[in-house]
Amino acid sequence: MDTKKLVKLSNIIGLVSIVLLGYWVFAFILIQVFGLKVFRQHLTETFGFSILGIISLMAGALMLNIMLNLTRIAERGEGGSEIRSGKKLLYMLLLVFPLLAAVLFGGNYLTAQKKQQILIQSAEKLVKQHPAQTQAMADYRFELPYIQNTANYLNLMEKQDTAFKSVAVIVPDTINGTPVYLGFGSRTLEDFSEAVNAASATDKQPQDTLVYKRVDDRQEIIRKADYLHSADLREREYLQKTFQNNSNEIEFVAQEGNYELFYPYQKNGKTVAVFLFSDYQRYGKFGSY
């Protein structure tokens, strides 16, 4: 192979390396900025090693190109160089950017859709498998036995199904006459593991606090405010619509790898509780579990 062909080959290698570097940086920025979940691999480490490899390839091609061009200058006997129009190639290379963006956003969408189907199937299965426990959790009363039993039931559900990290039950209530939503999860089991009989509940009106004793006779107070379910405007509007209109519409939210499924539970045609299934998926569609 003569020097001219070697120079051309090194130019091609350098150009391809630059193009790959541009595509990879573009893809990485999209994934980080929009929180796309597409790849299963550790993206940050993969990005670092890929950049290092591409830069090494570019450096090698550059050194080879310089050496070969110096050789050609020393042996110059031929004149003129071919001038080719690169507009078509440039357009093709630029077209890859929107195509790459479409692939990334499409992969993220498929990941979210797949996760939604899995969570819905898990929710339906658990409700069917545990009708008595589900009914008990939906029969809300701000009492110590309800909080303890709900924690036990939810803890059992979380251990039975690996499709979600946690599950909670959301119910409507009031605090000082103000409508609120309370959320109970499996972690409350730890708070009441030593609790015994409740104390002083003589007031017949709905109370915002509970007083109970532990084994060591220490008196503890449970407040409704401790179980307030924090929600953004969109979620509050969904819960309000669900409980007020007795809707059974399922709501799915996906944001930066966090997935939430709101699964309403109805009793005699009335929505009495909403089960919240939550999961976090670090990686995405390609090879996701």
> What are the structural domain ranges in the chain?
3-75, 113-188+223-280
Both tokens of 251, joined, read 């709501």
Q: CA 23 to CA 43: how far, in whole Å?
A: 15
Q: Does pLDDT of 265 surpass 90?
A: yes
How far the first Cα of the chain sits from its last, in Å, is: 50
Residue in 182, 212, 208 with CA at minimum distance from that of residue 196: 212
Q: CA 246 to CA 235: how far, in whole Å?
A: 16
Q: Does pLDDT of 245 surpass 90?
A: yes
Residue 38 contacts residue 96 (beta carbons within 8 Å): no
Q: Does pLDDT of 247 surpass 90?
A: yes
Parallel/antiparallel/unpaired status of strands 195-199 and 178-185: unpaired
**Class of residue 234 by CB neighbours under 10 A (exposed 0-12, middle 13-18, buried 19+):** exposed
DSSP letter string, 236-267: HHHHHHHHHTT----EEEEETTEEEEEEEEEE
Residue 275 contacts residue 125 (beta carbons within 8 Å): no
Q: How far is CA 106 from the centre of its chain?
A: 15
Q: How far is CA 241 from CA 12, 87, 245, 252, 274, in A?
A: 61, 56, 6, 15, 12
pLDDT tens for each residue of 100-136: 788 778 877 888 888 899 999 999 998 899 999 999 9
Q: Does pLDDT of 157 surpass 80?
A: yes
Query: What letter would DSSP give residue 224?
Result: G
Pick 113-188+223-280's CATH classification: 3.40.50, 1.10.150, 3.10.20, 3.30.450.
Answer: 3.30.450
Residue 258 contacts residue 280 (beta carbons within 8 Å): yes
**What's the pLDDT band for 229 if we cut at 50, 70, 90?**
very high
Q: CA 60 to CA 64: how far, in whole Å?
A: 6
- Its pTM surpasses 0.75: no
